Every structure is written in C-alpha cells, then in structure tokens.
Amino acid sequence: MTTLSPHAPELTGPRIMRQTWADLTFVHWAVDPERVAPLLPAGTRPDVLDGATYVGLIPFTMRGAGFGRGPAVPWLGTFLETNVRLYSVDDEGRHGVVFRSLEADRLGVSVGARLAFATPYTWARMSLERDGDVLDYRTSRRWPTPRGAGGRIVVRRGAPIAEPDDLSVFVSARFGLHTRHLGRTWWVPNTHVPWSLNQGELLHLDDDLVTAAGLPGITGAAPTSVLVADEVQTAFGLPRLVRSGR
C-alpha cells in the first residue's frame, strides 16, 4: 500500500516554472491497476492504494503561470484547464501523475506545451461559473480530435476536511509528474503547501474526456471521491531522467 505525505519535499536546484491553481475540483474513480498500466510511460507503473489505482478528472483555473522566478506571462499565464490523469510510481520510488489530456482555453499554451514538453494539451472552449458554493465547469474541445469532447461538471463545495484520509492524500498530494519526451521518461518534481481540502458534492456530470483519453466506461459510475480545494501556489523543478524502464 502506498502511504503519501501531504507535505511536499523541498525542491533542489533551479525552479523552472511557477503557477497558482485555483477553483480546483478533484473527481476520482477507483480502477484496476492492470487497466491503466499500458497507458503509463516506460519505467513507471500504477501507484496503488489498497489494491486500486485511480482515474482523475480535475477542472480548475490556472493563474499567473511564469518561468523561473520571473513575472507571470501576461494573458497566456491565466486560463481554464481540465485534465484527465493517472497515478504513477517509478523504480526509485518517486510518485507522480501521468496526464492523459489537458484541456486549456489558450491555443498558444496548448501548442507551446506540446512542442516544448510533449504534454498532451488540447485547445478547448471553456467556462467556469460560480454561484455561492457551486462551481459549474464546461468544456468543448476545439483541437485536436476528437473535436467536441468535453462536458459539464457541477459541484458544491462542502465542509472543510480537518484530517484528510489516505485516499484524499493519495489523489491530491502528488509532488511530481511522469512524462515521455524525446524517447525517454522523465520525472518533473513540484512543490506547494499542503492542500486545504473540502468535501465535494457532485451535482451534475456529463463527460467524455475520460473516454477520449482511452478509458471508456469509467464516468458512467458514481465517483469514488469528490473534493474541492483551496488555491495553492506551486513551483516546478528540473526534469530528472527515469533510468530504468520497460
């Protein structure tokens, strides 16, 4: 069983990017690790909690993204995003996420991230409306295919969680990502203060992003976990090569 800490380790070396994550909702489904294993980069395997791994659908607002310690990138540094992600660990015990897709409403961000980092960003028409404690996220993909992939997530923010359980920590305290670039697998560390999490009530879900990401039949079932998070500021360190792999 994987036991993670909600506290991030300190980054060593230069910080290559910083950003703020706000208006963030975590929606997760438990799945058999064997189902997602073929979708992970070489040198990684599904990270598991009590025999299961998880598929996440996470809408949020990216704010003030910038490089290094410089200023935020004007306009392009703030946008809406919805990602589909999996949970990974490598042979050195580094835990991370693997993004299957990342919808963004900035074409320049989507193209630039694909070219520079090989992250599977897409360009989408997106909106977020707030009505008290209710968040209403909508997205429809513009590029690349499948065009129109997306849907709607409506969630009500509930009571604060004073002591997050193991599952809440497992799906939220992921201080790194695994990605495949230039024929190799990399782990990119990041750091931020522990999440302030709240209970979430899913009021509406209409989604085909998870299916488009290669995981059909997931979102037809009730999610295992729904959380709403307070915003955090985060920073990313230099990528590190994953040396062993399949």
Residue 118, pLDDT score = 82
Closest by Cα among 233, 162, 154, 152 to 199? 162
Q: Are 222 and 18 in contact (CB under 8 A)?
A: no
The first and second tokens of residue 128, run together, are 């977020």
Rg value, the chain, Cα = 17
CA distance 170 to 174: 7
CA distance 46 to 32: 9
User: What is the helix (H) or strand (E) element at residue 102, kind and residue range?
Assistant: strand 95-104
CA distance 63 to 233: 9
CA distance 110 to 131: 29
Residue 141, pLDDT score = 98
Averaged pLDDT in 10-residue chunks for the chain of 246 residues = 83 90 98 98 97 98 82 74 98 96 93 84 97 98 96 98 97 96 94 97 98 97 98 94 72
Q: What is the pTM of this model?
A: 0.95
Alpha helices (runs of H) in 106-149, residue ranges in sequence order: 107-117
Cis peptide before 146 (omega within 30 of 0): yes
The three-state secondary structure class of 110 is helix
Tell me how long the chain is: 246
Which sequence spans correspond to the domains of the chain? Answer: 15-227
Phi-psi region of 16 (alpha: psi -120 to 50; beta: other; left: phi over 0): alpha
| Vertex 136 angle, CA 132 and 138, to 5° | 160
Residue 73, pLDDT score = 65
CA distance 102 to 244: 27
CATH for the stretch 15-227: 2.40.400.10
Residue 70, pLDDT score = 65
Residue 156, pLDDT score = 98
User: What is the helix (H) or strand (E) element at residue 174, kind and residue range?
Assistant: none
